[in-house]
Amino acid sequence: MTDYSIRGAREWAQGAKSSASPVEREAAKALLDLLPEPTMAELEWDDDAHHLAGATTPDGHEVVMMWHDVGEEIICNDWSWVPDSLTPNGKKYRLVEDPDHPTILKTEQDFKDAPLGTIVARAGSSPWVRNNEAVWLCAVDTDRSSNDMAYYGPWTVLRWGRIL
């Protein structure tokens, strides 16, 4: 079967799935089970559906599709692929930042290790900023040491160090 005839058969079967005739519905189901899964060449790129969606290459390698290039290739995490080489596999990925710093400060050492300009806060308290080697400042309270901050913690890091 050519790509064109596969596409035509798939379109007929998709339409026949909702047919009133039980024979046509069964034939459509059987045909869809036999046809290969549609490749990205048969689908119109949709950012919401395809950005960071999984696909499988002809050799069975799984990739993550990132965007459809102006040159008609699909840019993936490993390479750019022509659309008929990618079959969507139903997986969806999302980007999650893996910060290179702690998100919670608990111990005295945590507070000592925080760079100048780090801002922390916790429920029921105003934000605190580290302004020098030994002092944490807050606009509505007295200065605190790293030991004091650990005592009243844990604290959530709002910003990790920036010289003021």
Has residue 8 got a pLDDT over 60? yes
Dist CA 42 CA 10 (whole Å): 10
More confident residue, 57 or 21: 57
Range of the domain at 2: 1-36
Amino acid at 55: A
Distances (CA, A) of 11 to 41, 45, 92, 141, 157: 14, 18, 25, 69, 54
115 and 133 inside one domain: yes
The verdict on residue 42 lying in a domain is yes
- The per-residue pLDDT for 6 is 79
Mean pLDDT of all residues in 50-58: 95
* 52 domain-assigned: yes
DSSP secondary structure, 39-75, as one string: PGGGS---HHHHTTEEEE-TTS-EEEEEEE-TTS-EE
Has residue 164 been placed in a domain? no
Please tell me the total count of domains within the chain: 3
Q: Which pLDDT tens digit goes with each residue over 109-156?
A: 999 999 998 999 998 888 999 987 779 998 787 889 999 999 998 999
Same domain assignment for residues 13 and 43: no
4 and 50 within one domain: no
pLDDT at 108 over 60: yes
For the stretch 28-49, pLDDT in tens is 888 888 888 888 988 899 999 9
Q: Does 85 share its domain with 120?
A: no
pLDDT digits 0-9 by tens, 134-147 = 799 987 878 899 99
